[in-house]
Structures are given as C-alpha cells and as structure tokens.
A and B are shown apart, each in its own frame.
Chain A
C-alpha cells in the first residue's frame, strides 16, 4: 500500500497509509476504530480509496478487484451468513460463488467444516449456531476455495477462552502448516503475538509502526517492572515523569506497576539512583521481557500519557 487514504464522507478513516504485508502471518493491530477493518475492505476493493495505490498478490486493486477476490478469503468481523442454509450447503455455496465446480465445492465444504471443528454440526442451520460456531463457519467459508491470502477480521470476537485458543491454533496452523498467507486484524495483543510473525500497528487511520514482531520487541533495551511507594516528595506518577525527563521510557498501568525501559548500556542501578535522588521508595523491581504490548503502547502513543 502506498499513501492510501480512505474517507467516509468528511471523516478520514485512513490517512496516507503506506504499509507492506510480507508473506506469512501478519497482524494488523490497533485499538477499536483505528481503521483496521477499513484497511481490509479497501484491500478487497470493497471501499474505493480517495488516493494512493494498492497491490494485492501482484494485482492492482483498482484494475483487477475480481482477480484478487478470487484468490483471497475474507472472514468479516460481524456475524454473516446466507440465510436459510445449513452449514455444509452454505460453505459449498460460497465455494461455488468463488468459482469451484458444484461437486468440488461440496466436497471441500465437508473437509473444511471438519477442519474448523464443525464436522458434527454441519447439517444444522447456521442461524442456530452459537457465537463461537459462527466464528468457525465464517473461517470455513473463507477457506473453502483454498485462497492464497486470508483476511481475518477479529476472528476471536465473542469466543470463550477454550474456543479462542482453538481458533488461534487454527489460524497459526493455516499460516505455518497450510502455507496460506494471512492478515489477522485484532485489537487483542496476545492473539496477534500468538499467531503472527509480523505486525502492522495502526492508530487513528495511520500506521504507527510495522515490522517483524521479534525485531520490534528487541529494540526496547532492558525492561523492568517497577512499583514505588506513593506519597512523599514524589508519587508514582510523578516519578514516572521524572524518569521520562531523564530520557527513560516508562508505561504505567492500572495496578501501579510501571514498565520501565532502560537503555541496554545502563542497568537497574540507574533506577535506584534516581529513586534515591528524589526520595522515592522502590517497593518492587523485577526484570521483564519486552512484549508486543510494549510495542503497541509505544506505537499508539500511550507513553505520552504515562498511564
């Protein structure tokens, strides 16, 4: 994608987005309303961009949307099905719509439904399915025509913990063992971290950061969890401000435990020295490892708020 902008009326949903999605599993991460779904719909050619260029699987989205859609599968965020059909008819019908012969579409519908764990429920009307089953059948209809690229929009929405784990295991299996490229859109950091190797972080319609997750996590230096005693000359929030003033990155959370990023060259002693200098008691200091959450927090600018 090169400098793609999309607007809903006067509201800019994507602003000058330039991003590259390498082969494999790529996470599209961002808070609700960041523009993730808009980006996917734009890549599918469902939303015309106001400006910019996009290429998917070697095709320009403006010139060959049908050629692209024949090779991609789309699992929408919201509940979606064809009314009045049971699961196997629905998935087979979707296969036929994607160009598969009728017999092949039905055979693949059975196979894909077994693959996503709906084999025993495949003759039930889709409208009677639970939320978790509806997520699975949306994945099945996206897979039935054996796409080269999958767009998964919030695939674990509304699923219980067990179902969520199974869905993520499926997503990872699709990307790693079945050789299908996928773009996983989610606001859930653990989902993206579990299933993807690359991430594109998007916030307020713009790309905040992108790259391999390992590389993005590795640039943060040494990480410590830090809790200081409130009150006195400098409370926790104020100490965080002092750390930032010293050039040390610091993210807070609701449990009053800060995640402090100390440059590789400097150790925990620096934190003790600063605490001593400002009369703050260090109550908890534990080495940690960089997570995608840190990457996300830094990218979307939570660090500016310090909370």
Chain B
C-alpha cells in the first residue's frame, strides 16, 4: 500500500470566501517579476538617486561647511521629478505584459470562469504594478525623510514641514495611479507585450515632444495639457506648494488627470472579458 496515493481525491478542507483573489493575483504577479534579474537590476538602479540624496543629507547634517546642501521641500519635489524616468521604465517593464500576456495565452477565460469578478482581476493586476511603482517613488522619498531625521538627531525638519509626508504621499499616489491605470488600459489593447511597451512609450514621448514643440512655436506654457506627464507635474507642484505659476490651471489639470483615469477604466471595462464578442 503506498504511503501517499498520488491520485485524485476529494477536497475536504476549508475554502476561502470570495473577494481575496485580487491579492492572489497581485502576489503571483510580483513574485513572477522579482524572479527576473534584469528587473531587479532596474529596481536597484532606480534607488541610485536615493543614495545620492541620502549622502547629501548626511553631509549637510554632519559638516557645517556643507549646510548649503541641507534638504528642504524643494529637494523632495526634485527627487520625485528625478524618479519620473524610473516610473516610466518600471511601468513599461512590469506593466506591459500584465494583461497582454493573459490575452495572448487566453488566460482571461481561466480567471473569469472562477469565482473572480472582473474588478478583482483588474485590481490584482493594478496592485502588481502599483507595488513596484510605490517601491521606486513613495518608499525612497519617505525613507529620505526618516534618514534626515536620523542624521540631524531631532524632529525639527518634520515638525517645520508638517505637510511634507502627506504631500509626498499624495504626489506619489497621483504619479503611480496615472501611470498604472494608463499602462493597464494600453496592455489590454493588444496580445503583444512588446507592442504595448512601444505604444505606451510612444504616447508618453510623443505627447511630451508635442508639448515642447508647441511651447517653442507659440512661446506659451499653456500647452502643457497636451502631455499627461506635464499635466501631472502641475498637480505635483501644487501638492508641494510650489510658488511658480502653473502652466495650466490646477483645476484643469485635475480634470485632465481624472479624465485620463476614467478613459483607462472604460477601456479596461470594455476589453477585460472572458468572451470576446465580435458583433
């Protein structure tokens, strides 16, 4: 008699209640990506500005001659601006295949024939990307604040800038949500991960180039609304209380960003289906 029969047996254990599949999907997505060395290298490289800023904070707090390097709110705003390029690459690397690969492998019908709603599926995929984007934006920014407190040995910096951490959190939330929603929507448009990557990069780079060209031609900064990145920058500036005149009114930027997210959700609602109906 075998010690353990490797045949089919009925399952007598407990089953989880509906509604936790989004976490299963996100966890699997994160673990799959972390198995790739190239992606790990990209994540590590994305932390290089953090190292530079940490050294800057250390020098400023340790050597009086370097006090001109002391970080302020502007430093953190500039840090998040530097991270934009890593947000771009991480979004493309980790996000382009999230739905496109499932479409290529006909996996949607496997997901949605289980006790999973489309919202849970999208939430799981979105969370996968959000985790990586937060890891290269919010996490290093907040760690910088913590390091600043540790290097100076007091909490004066935090108490004198009480809105800094909320501003970092809001700015990062805007940055990662827009990038993740847009990428997920683009990823649902094709079965090819490479095509999705090129399409997303094309949209981001083309709109930025359009913005720059129109600015040069017209001499007006008002064309920032053409580029989602520059529109987002207006909102992030406002979040950090930057005193510079915004390229477009903040309210307009809010509407544009909300519209971009709404369009992304609409695309996902249309494309994420177990059955592709061609009427």
Residues of A bordering B, CB below 8 Å: 8-11, 41, 44, 46-47, 66-67, 69-70, 72, 74, 76, 78-85, 93-94, 96-101, 104, 108, 110-112, 114-115, 119, 127, 141, 143, 145-146, 174, 178-179
Contact = CB atoms under 8 A, between A and B. Distances in A.
Interface stretch (B6-14, B63-71, B80-88, B182-190): B6-14
Nearest to B25: A97
B102 interface: yes
Contact of A98 (B112, B114, B279): B114
B160 interface: no
Contacts of A81: 105-107, 110
A157 B27 CA distance: 33
Nearest to A108: B11
Contact of A119 (B6, B97, B277): B6
Contacts of B32: 84-85
A114 B11 contact: no
A115 B24 CA distance: 25
B37 interface: no
Interface of B: 6-11, 13-18, 21, 24-25, 28, 32, 97, 101-102, 104-107, 109-117, 274-275, 277-279
Contacts of A9: 277, 279
16 contacts: A8-B278, A8-B279, A10-B279, A41-B274, A46-B109, A66-B116, A69-B116, A76-B110, A81-B110, A82-B110, A83-B97, A99-B16, A104-B11, A111-B8, A115-B7, A143-B8
Among B9, B15, B18, max chain A CB count under 10 A is at: B15
A141 B155 CA distance: 55
Contacts of A143: 8
- Dominant secondary structure of chain B at its interface with chain A: loop
A37 to B, nearest CB: 9
Given A84-B32, A93-B28, A111-B9, A66 B117 contact: yes
A173 to B, nearest CB: 8
Contact of A84 (B16, B101, B274, B279): B101
B275 A47 contact: yes
A111 B6 contact: yes
Given A41-B274, A47-B275, A80 B13 contact: no
A145 to B, nearest CB: 7
Contacts of A115: 6-8
A8 B279 CA distance: 6
B7 A80 contact: no
